[in-house]
């Protein structure tokens, strides 16, 4: 690798869960990351590009965590299969095994198996700071000579050892090396494992020396005594969730207001800069209104992702799994199910993928089925808009903001509906597999803010661009459907308003508003809304809400973009926010406000339960290898949403 010609290799990051792969991946790739799926499966694939040396770059792939090359879960099988594949591009590959240096014996098992496969391996001893705090030392030279591979000490969270790792990658050369253990013909697998573990114990005994008592784990044990307490642990967890939703509302208020004012200014500027006509209307009432209705909620989504990342980075999420195992078993799940359920607060798609870590098929299926009931970040725009319509910003209970309390209540409703559904389903889904819950608890650590920042940027980028493409497409289609009608319906409306047969003394502004409203109702979109209105009227929904519900099947957040487009079409006022327009909306027959508390709460409950995400449906079909379960999900969650919404509307009417 010492030539002057530019070269690109592939780095495969492999290691046990919680060994620090994500930290190393972030240090190597920075923001040059992509998230996709491994070919043929729906497990999330994180890849990125890294500059290793002046004439050497690398494609870096972060493989799912695994304890050994004997896979027990779908995630571990993906890593096993990927390491054993022969890729068509024949790109040179180097495996970087990230090991928790403070638990070297367990982490060397995976490394020893890769050595015996004669794969190109570099061992990165991560978390050396913990080794030092525990007054231990590791003989790096002895370890490297014994294993016949490069060994690099590092602390990936702080970026220490990255330069040394890159230097070893640059000068890496494949060479013959002795096997970790010799394969004996006819030997039983259990005897092979015993010999492997015996040699690992001998190596660790010589490589690691201790000079005092372990202090770091003592602190972790003391914190666990409080945070995983059978009573206080749950109370603390609920309190943390409560603070998160309070912060999501309060911290996001100012940036959201700035974004809203910015889009209103931009829309008005475009409207005044371009000549009146179809292009002007499409840009202002269609694309800008639709996108503005979604981008305004990025601060809240970023805040939610930040909190989830912090909980994970500190090691607290693993504790939540441990605490919840006993409770969730009663509902047909296990402790690992809580990770997909909590991840579902961000997005159901990767959350459902993460259920692959659950080895029991019944528990995995139940987790997949109920995860969409957890309120995801795509619901935040809907929740925030409706909550702001029916609950004043200054409303509070004591020192706590009422809007934040209602938001948290919606998440709790989703969780209760999820575990209730699982309890019901566990009697119908049969399995002969036994259930086990084994999860390693990492030590508590302060969050690495750079990693939190990378997570926020990447997650928001995925949300923005994935949702943005859908929103632009739907906004254009919806603008066309809202701006044109069948036959000569629009011409007849214009003739009616030009005939002078309207009520006397009506001013021009009111007349134009009535003309625009009449055209919207006569449009293709209006006809579609009127067609479904009888079915949703008992829920307190009008035809405009009906159109938004239909379009939001593409993605829940499209609801807000649709409402923004509908309330902008035919409206000459580009300075009024969507919330104000909806707040002023009145029933043309009764003259009463459309968005009453009854309608608002009914709509919130509907979106809390309904499965309106085509990506989630597709992922469930892939994960279960059948369309049976997603179809059942759509029917069940649709019925649950409809009847819960019906009850809510009647309670508040």
Which residue positions form the known binding site for Mg(2+)?
26, 29-30
Which residues define the annotated binding site?
Answer: 15-22, 26, 29-30, 40-44, 62-65, 126-129
Q: How far apart are CA 501 and CA 37, in angstroms?
A: 62
Residue 164 phi, psi (nearest 5): -65, -40
Token pair, residue 372, equals 């969409």
Long-range contacts, stretch 574-579, CB < 8 angstroms, 24+ apart: 574/264, 574/267, 574/268, 574/271, 574/284, 575/264, 575/268, 576/264, 577/260, 577/264, 578/289, 578/293, 578/385, 579/385, 579/388, 579/389
Which residues define the annotated binding site for GTP?
Answer: 15-22, 40-44, 62-65, 126-129
- Residue carrying structure tokens 């104000």: 580
Strand, helix or coil at 434?
A: coil
Which residues in 76-97 are b (16+ Cβ under 10 Å) and which e?
A: bbbbbebbeeeeeeeeebbbbb
Q: How far apart are CA 400 and CA 110, in angstroms?
A: 49
Question: Do 489 and 66 contact (CB within 8 A), yes or no?
Answer: no
Q: How far apart are CA 491 and CA 281, in angstroms?
A: 18
Q: How far apart are CA 630 and CA 622, in angstroms?
A: 10
Q: How far apart are CA 345 and CA 114, in angstroms?
A: 36
The number of beta carbons lying within 10 Å of the beta carbon of residue 506 is 11
Q: Which of 56, 7, 58, 64 is nearest to 28 (CA)?
A: 58
∠ CA 125-129-135, rounded to 5°? 105
């Amino acid at each position: 690798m010492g030539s002057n010609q530019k070269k690109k290799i592939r780095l495969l990051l492999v290691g046990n869960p919680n060994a620090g792969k994500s930290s190393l991946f972030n240090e190597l790739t920075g923001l040059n990351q992509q998230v996709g799926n491994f070919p043929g499966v729906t497990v999330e694939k994180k890849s990125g590009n890294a500059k290793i040396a002046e004439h050497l770059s690398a494609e870096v792939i972060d493989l799912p965590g695994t304890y050994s090359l004997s896979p027990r879960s779908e995630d571990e099988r993906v890593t096993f299969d990927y390491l054993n594949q022969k890729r068509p591009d024949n790109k040179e590959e180097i495996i970087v095994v990230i090991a928790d240096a403070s638990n070297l014996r367990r982490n060397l098992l995976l490394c020893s198996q890769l050595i015996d496969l004669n794969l190109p391996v570099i061992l990165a001893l991560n978390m050396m700071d913990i080794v030092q705090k525990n007054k231990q030392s590791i003989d790096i030279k002895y370890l490297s000579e014994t294993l016949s591979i490069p060994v690099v000490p590092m602390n990936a969270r702080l970026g220490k050892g990255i330069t040394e790792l890159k230097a070893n990658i640059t000068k890496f050369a494949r060479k013959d090396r002795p096997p970790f253990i010799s394969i004996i013909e006819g030997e039983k697998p259990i005897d092979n494992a015993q010999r492997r573990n015996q040699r690992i114990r001998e190596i660790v005994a010589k490589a690691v020396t201790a000079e005092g008592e372990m202090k770091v784990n003592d602190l972790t044990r003391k914190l666990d005594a409080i945070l995983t307490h059978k009573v206080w642990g749950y109370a603390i967890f609920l309190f943390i969730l409560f603070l998160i939703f309070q912060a999501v509302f309060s911290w996001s208020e100012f940036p959201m207001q700035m974004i809203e004012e910015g889009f209103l200014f931009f829309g008005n500027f475009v409207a005044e800069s371009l000549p009146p006509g179809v292009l002007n209307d499409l840009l202002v009432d269609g694309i800008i209104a639709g996108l503005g209705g979604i981008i305004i909620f990025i601060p809240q989504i970023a805040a939610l992702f930040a909190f989830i990342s912090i909980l994970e980075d500190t090691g607290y999420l693993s504790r939540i799994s441990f605490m919840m195992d006993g409770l969730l078993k009663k509902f047909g799940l296990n402790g690992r199910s809580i990770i997909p359920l909590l991840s579902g607060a961000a997005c159901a798609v990767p959350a459902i993928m993460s259920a692959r870590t659950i080895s029991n098929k019944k528990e995995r299926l139940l987790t997949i089925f109920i995860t969409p009931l957890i309120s995801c970040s795509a619901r935040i725009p809907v929740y925030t808009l409706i909550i702001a319509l029916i609950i004043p910003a200054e409303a509070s209970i004591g020192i706590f903001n009422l809007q934040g309390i209602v938001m948290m209540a919606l998440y709790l409703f989703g969780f209760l509906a999820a575990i209730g559904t699982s309890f019901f389903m566990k009697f119908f889904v049969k399995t002969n597999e036994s259930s086990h819950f084994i999860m390693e608890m990492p030590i508590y650590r302060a969050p690495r803010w750079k990693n939190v920042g990378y997570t926020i940027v990447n997650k928001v980028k995925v949300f923005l661009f994935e949702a943005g493409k859908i929103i632009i497409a739907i906004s254009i289609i919806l603008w066309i459907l809202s701006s044109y009608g069948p036959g000569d319906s629009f011409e007849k409306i214009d003739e009616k308003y030009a005939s002078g047969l309207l009520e006397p003394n009506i001013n021009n502004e009111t007349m134009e508003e009535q003309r625009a409203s009449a055209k919207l109702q006569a449009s293709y979109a209006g006809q579609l809304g009127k067609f479904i209105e009888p079915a949703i009227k008992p829920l307190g929904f009008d035809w405009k809400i009906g159109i938004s519900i239909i379009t939001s099947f593409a993605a829940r957040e499209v609801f807000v973009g649709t409402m923004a487009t509908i309330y902008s079409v035919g409206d000459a006022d580009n300075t009024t926010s969507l919330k104000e327009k909806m707040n002023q909306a009145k029933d043309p027959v009764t003259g009463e406000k459309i968005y009453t508390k009854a309608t608002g709460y009914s709509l919130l409950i509907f979106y809390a339960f309904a499965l309106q995400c085509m990506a989630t449906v597709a992922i469930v079909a892939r994960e279960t290898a059948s369309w049976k379960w997603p179809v059942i999900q759509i029917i069940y969650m649709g019925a649950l949403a409809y009847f819960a919404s019906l009850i809510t509307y009647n309670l508040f009417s």
